[in-house]
Amino acid sequence: MLSVEDNKLLTETGPNTLMGKLLRRYWIPALLSDELPEPDCPPVRVKLLGEKLIAFRDSNNKVGLLDELCPHRKASLFFGRNEEGGLRCVYHGWKFDTCGKCVDMPSEPPESSFKNKVTIKSYPCRDVGGIIWTYMGPEDEMPELPILEWTLVPKSHRYFSRRIQENNYFQAIEGGIDSSHISFLHRNIQRSKTDAQKALANDRSPKFEVSKTDYGLQIGAKRKAAEETVYWRITQFLMPWYTMIPPFGPTRGGHAWVPMDDEHCWHWSFSWNPLEPLKEEELAEMRSGNDLHASLIPGTFRTVQNKDNDYQIDWELQASGQAFSGIRGIGMQDAAVQESAGSITDRSLEKLGTSDAAIIVARRVMIHAAKGLENGETPPGLDTSKQRVRAASVMLPEGIPFQEGAKELMELKPQDYLAAENE
């Protein structure tokens, strides 16, 4: 369990909170590059860490992220005209560039220098790997962009999505690093055919080994398999909100959970194949909502399956064994249980067991990092040379440590992603 005070520290992410200050020291995935498809396209609303912002791509293809409200009379810049190198407020014509500088103020006399004294809050952005990233921390502490495999592969090898999840960001992270729930929540009783699937179905109380690393956590879950053989699933947690999922095949998956505010988060899902382009049938499955990704209500980031319709649970599907939960789609199965715990769960009332080892350590790491920053320590996980890792799933002889037996599987080598540089 967690004290009420530590739960507040962990979950509150506004500008003046300890956790909010920590999270602002990392580059943040703000939106998909395709959401701003071309220069001077319509602007997009983005809410991050409790701040309402507007993203736009200017005439020179540069992306800006500004406070939503014009500093003049506080009208929303969402309705602004994106033209001639800036975003112009439609109320009185004030125009701002991507750096937040007022570059035109037609409502004032031509001889006035007032516009030179007016700025709007802005955050630097980078458009890399299919994602628009922003940094909301102190300019003189800006780190390098993270090195994450899904941003390094060619565009044809990857599929990304984002959606709104109606709970605190860390509630979702806890689901992402919990390797025991896969034997229950995501279980398809009728499809336990491979050795890995049989191990997941038959050994539902894995033994955990959790190690702190330079980038976050390495989480090994061991299950009994065939005689004198064990099945290891090794999840990677990279500070401050990324997970890499142990794969079943060549196509890999991962997540990020970025706070919108204290009670909602952006749920990012990443699928990629480092070796070859994703097949049409794979993409169709991802878009259908039956995988990590989810189907969205058109024109929104809200899922078709949601708490208002009980995630379209099918009780007959549950009873038949086709889906342990009766809810279709891995992503929506996760959302259902995580959102059902409330927007911010009261962790002081929990009863944690041995299967919660990774969750306990992750909470400590995040809280320690937030307190450490307040005391002048450098946030963990910013060294990009330490981020070249992978999740892994592997059968090993009993007695062989996964750190030894899966060592090469967990390393991201340059030859694995250099092809992206030539696309």
Residues 118 and 212 in one domain: no
- pLDDT computed for residue 127 by the predictor: 98
Of all helices (H) and strands (E), which one includes residue 163? strand 158-165
Residues 297, 123: Cα–Cα separation, whole Å = 29
Residues 311 and 273 in one domain: yes
Residues 357 and 418 in one domain: yes
Residues 159 and 189 in one domain: yes
6 located within any domain: no
Residues 382 and 417 in one domain: yes
Residues 109, 154: Cα–Cα separation, whole Å = 51
Residues 200 and 77 in one domain: no
Residues 187 and 128 in one domain: no
The string of DSSP letters for 191-255 reads G--SHHHHHHHH--S-EEEEEE-SSEEEEEEEEE-STTEEEEEEEEEETTTEEEEPPSSSSEEEE
Residues 341, 332: Cα–Cα separation, whole Å = 14
Query: Quick one: 386 exposed, middle or buried, by C-beta within 10 A (0-12, 13-18, 19+)?
Result: middle
- pLDDT computed for residue 192 by the predictor: 52
Residues 86 and 154 in one domain: no
Cis ω for the linkage preceding 146 (within 30 of 0): no
Residues 234 and 269 in one domain: yes
Question: Percent of the chain beyond pLDDT 90?
Answer: 82
pTM, entire model = 0.93
pLDDT in tens, 92-110: 999 999 999 999 999 999 9
- pLDDT computed for residue 154 by the predictor: 93
pLDDT in tens, 222-234: 988 888 899 999 9
Q: Which of 120, 141, 162 is the last residue of a domain?
A: 141
Residues 237 and 381 in one domain: yes
| CATH number of the domain encompassing residue 81 | 2.102.10.10
Q: Which domain holds residue 129?
A: 27-141
13 located within any domain: no
Neighbours of 423 (CB within 10 A): 9
Sign of CA dihedral 372, 366, 217, 414: negative
Q: Which of 87, 120, 141 is the last residue of a domain?
A: 141
Task: Quote the Cα angle for 155-284-388, to 5°.
Answer: 40
42 located within any domain: yes
241 located within any domain: yes
- pLDDT computed for residue 228 by the predictor: 87
Q: pLDDT tens track of the chain, all 423 residues?
A: 799 999 999 999 999 999 999 999 999 999 999 999 999 999 999 999 999 999 999 999 999 999 999 999 999 999 999 999 999 999 999 999 999 999 999 999 999 999 999 999 999 999 999 999 999 999 999 999 999 999 999 999 999 999 999 999 999 999 999 887 877 778 775 455 666 666 666 657 789 899 999 999 999 999 888 888 999 999 999 999 999 999 988 999 999 999 999 999 999 999 999 999 999 999 999 999 888 999 999 999 999 999 999 999 999 989 987 888 889 989 999 999 999 999 999 999 999 999 899 999 999 999 999 999 999 999 999 999 999 999 999 999 999 999 999 999 999 986 665 554 444
Residues 49 and 163 in one domain: no
- pLDDT computed for residue 1 by the predictor: 77
| CATH number of the domain encompassing residue 219 | 3.90.380
Q: Which residue has the tokens 């560039």?
A: 97
314 located within any domain: yes
Residues 79 and 177 in one domain: no
Number of independent structural domains in the chain: 2
71 located within any domain: yes
385 located within any domain: yes
362 located within any domain: yes
Compute CA distances 251 → 39, 118, 130, 244, 330, whole Å: 33, 49, 18, 12, 15
Q: Which of 96, 122, 141 is the last residue of a domain?
A: 141
Residues 118, 5: Cα–Cα separation, whole Å = 40
